[in-house]
């Protein structure tokens, strides 16, 4: 593997792409540490030392921003507005006929949908930036910090608007950096930035577990977490690569004197067809009642119930609800992203058929049957992986963050595998062995 990396840097065009990607990553990490105007950074650091845990309301967004959210920097919103906008456009494509027609137009339609995604990203960034500034002004961003209400000393309209504009501009710059990586670097730019954001939080989270441990100065807990992390990575790689390959045979047809078709291929149905989207959906949905309760005044009974049952990640009601939402959204997302009838029609149009299954409606019913069968283990796997940080919360204490689990490990492994495959394919084009012999 190290030899393959050396060969990658010896290839001029591949070396240029790798160095360009590394340069963009450095710029991105620098922007994640530049505070926005109007923030008392010393008070932010004080609250960061007091409230080290990010398992609460803003944990997901803070993870996607690489820890920049709680530091209220230029890239505080991270890539989350773009992810949300992409998911919304993907869901609307199924509902709105105009967007569905654009999707079928090819490259021109895809470019138009990408433009809509950018506009929606800016709108969501303004909305989320306003919410973050309002939360920082009230002191609710850091629970239990004595100087949390003094993070924004000047609460005038001008300073507030400047802070929102700065964070929105930071999100736009991140979009631009991600597209630059996609065009001139290696891998998908947005995925690479997500990978870097999550990986950047690993060292501090692991060191916090070591410092909070009590056995052999925390080294036993530290080693246990590393071991569990390696097992988790192996499990995720195994399931993410698992496929149900449905064989497809294409009939021969004569066009003039030439024969076309007659080839055999397969439809790869992944066990985890939905990816990490169900976990994001479930996390976002569970944050809504907690967000409403946080901004609601008074101590009403419903607010206290939400604080006790849906805000604490180790409560049984929270765990069961989270797991069921992940299973539901896994089936929901697979249903809207994979259309068996469309696949069956395309196969019939080009003379393809599944051996032993009639073309047309029987093929669509067979694909639906297989898809439902493999979605069950995929959804249960997603639910169990997402609950690993919750179990670690109970085992290692409420103030510690378990990095290997949930959304983080799924994105880290998925993006890592795709990026390595792209590098390997470019190496193999030059008669190199790639990463795996």
255: its two tokens:
């066009």
State the average pLDDT over residues 396-415.
Answer: 67
Q: Do 6 and 166 form a contact (C-beta atoms < 8 A)?
A: no
Of the candidates 173, 184, 198, 61, the one whose C-alpha atom is nearest the C-alpha of residue 121 is 173
Highest mean pLDDT of the ranges 21-30, 336-345, 382-391: 21-30
Report how far residue 267's alpha carbon sits from residue 342's, in angstroms, rounded to the nearest whole number.
13
Per-chain mean pLDDT for the chain? 80
pLDDT in the model for residue 8: 75
pLDDT for 403 beyond 80: no
Q: Name the H helices within 301-433.
A: 301-309, 316-337, 340-349, 361-386, 388-396, 406-428
Query: In this predicted model, what pLDDT tens digit does every residue of 310-345 receive, in sequence order?
Result: 766 667 888 888 889 889 989 988 888 888 888 888
DSSP run (H or E) holding 246: strand 243-250
Residues 6+ apart with CB under 8 A from 292: 306
Confidence class for position 55, pLDDT limits 50, 70, 90: very low
Q: Report the candidate in 204, 185, 234, 232 with the shortest Cα–Cα distance to residue 19.
A: 185
Which helix (H) or strand (E) element contains residue 290? helix 277-295
Rounded CA-CA distance 303/294 in Å is 8
The pLDDT tens digits of the residues spanning 127-161 come to 888 888 887 887 777 766 777 777 888 778 888 89
What angle (nearest 5°) sits at the alpha carbon of residue 61, between those of residues 78 and 382?
Answer: 120
Say if strands 258-260 and 352-353 run parallel, antiparallel, or are unpaired: unpaired
- The whole model's pTM is what? 0.77
Task: State residue 296's pLDDT score.
Answer: 63
Backbone angles phi, psi at 265, to 5 degrees: -145, -165
Q: Which strands form 264-270's sheet, in the order they lie side by side?
A: 264-270, 243-250, 352-353
**pLDDT(169) > 90:** yes
- The span from the CA of 315 to the CA of 287, in Å, is 15
Alpha carbon dihedral 391, 396, 400, 406, in 10-degree steps, equals -20
The sign one gets for the Cα dihedral 165, 169, 170, 174 is positive
Length in residues, the chain:
437
Listed ranges 102-106, 388-392, 404-408; the one with the highest mean pLDDT: 102-106
Q: Specify whether the CB–CB gap between 306 and 289 falls below 8 A.
A: yes
pLDDT band with cut points at 50, 70 and 90 for residue 210: confident
Residue 195 clears pLDDT 80, i.e. is over it: yes
Which three-class secondary structure state does DSSP give residue 345? Answer: helix
Contact of 280 with 87, CB cutoff 8 Å:
yes
DSSP letters spanning 126-194? HHHHHHHHHHHHHTTTSTT-TTGGGSSS---HHHHHHHHHHHHHHHHHHHHHHHHHHHHSSS-HHHHHH
In a 3-state reduction of DSSP, which class is residue 271?
Answer: coil
Query: What confidence category does residue 119 fall into, taking pLDDT thresholds of 50, 70 and 90?
Result: very high
Q: Which tokens belong to 9? A: 């840097």
**Phi, psi angle pair for 259, to nearest 5°:** -105, 130
């Amino acid at each position: 593997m190290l030899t393959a990396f050396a060969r990658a840097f010896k290839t001029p065009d591949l070396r240029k792409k790798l160095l360009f990607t590394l340069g963009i990553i450095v710029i991105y990490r620098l922007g994640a540490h530049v505070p926005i105007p109007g923030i008392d950074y010393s008070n932010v650091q004080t609250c960061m030392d007091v409230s080290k845990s990010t398992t609460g309301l803003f944990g997901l967004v803070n993870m996607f921003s690489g820890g920049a959210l709680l530091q209220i920097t230029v890239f505080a919103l991270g890539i989350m507005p773009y992810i949300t906008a992409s998911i919304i456009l993907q869901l609307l494509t199924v509902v709105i006929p105009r967007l569905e027609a654009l999707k079928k137009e090819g490259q021109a339609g895809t470019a138009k949908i990408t433009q809509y995604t950018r506009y929606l990203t800016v709108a969501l960034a303004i909305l989320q930036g306003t919410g973050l500034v309002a939360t920082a002004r009230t002191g609710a961003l850091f629970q239990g910090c004595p100087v949390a209400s003094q993070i924004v000393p000047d609460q005038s309209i001008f300073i507030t608007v400047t802070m929102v504009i700065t964070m929105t501009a930071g999100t736009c710059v991140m979009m631009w950096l991600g597209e630059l990586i996609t065009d001139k670097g290696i891998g998908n730019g947005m995925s690479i930035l997500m990978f870097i954001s999550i990986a950047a939080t690993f060292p501090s989270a692991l060191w916090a577990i070591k410092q909070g441990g009590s056995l052999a100065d925390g080294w036993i807990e530290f080693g246990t977490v590393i071991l569990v992390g390696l097992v988790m990575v192996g499990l995720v790689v195994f399931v993410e690569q698992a496929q149900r390959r449905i064989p497809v045979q294409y009939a021969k047809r004569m066009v003039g004197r030439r024969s076309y078709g007659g080839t055999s291929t397969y439809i790869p149905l992944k066990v985890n067809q939905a990816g990490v989207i169900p976990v994001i959906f479930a996390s976002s949905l569970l944050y809504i009642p907690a967000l409403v309760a946080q901004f609601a005044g008074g101590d009403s009974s419903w607010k206290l119930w939400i604080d006790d049952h849906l805000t604490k990640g180790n409560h049984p009601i929270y765990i069961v609800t989270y797991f069921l939402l992940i299973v539901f959204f896994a089936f929901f997302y697979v249903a809207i992203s994979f259309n068996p009838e469309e696949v069956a029609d395309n196969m019939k149009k080009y003379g393809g058929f599944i051996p032993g299954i009639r073309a047309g409606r029987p093929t669509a019913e067979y694909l639906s049957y297989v898809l439902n069968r493999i979605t069950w283990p995929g959804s249960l796997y997603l639910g169990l992986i997402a609950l690993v940080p919750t179990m670690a919360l109970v085992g290692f204490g409420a103030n510690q963050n378990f990095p290997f689990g949930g959304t983080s490990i799924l994105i880290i492994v998925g993006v890592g595998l795709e990026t390595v495959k792209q590098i390997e394919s470019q190496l193999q084009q030059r008669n190199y062995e790639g990463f795996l012999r």
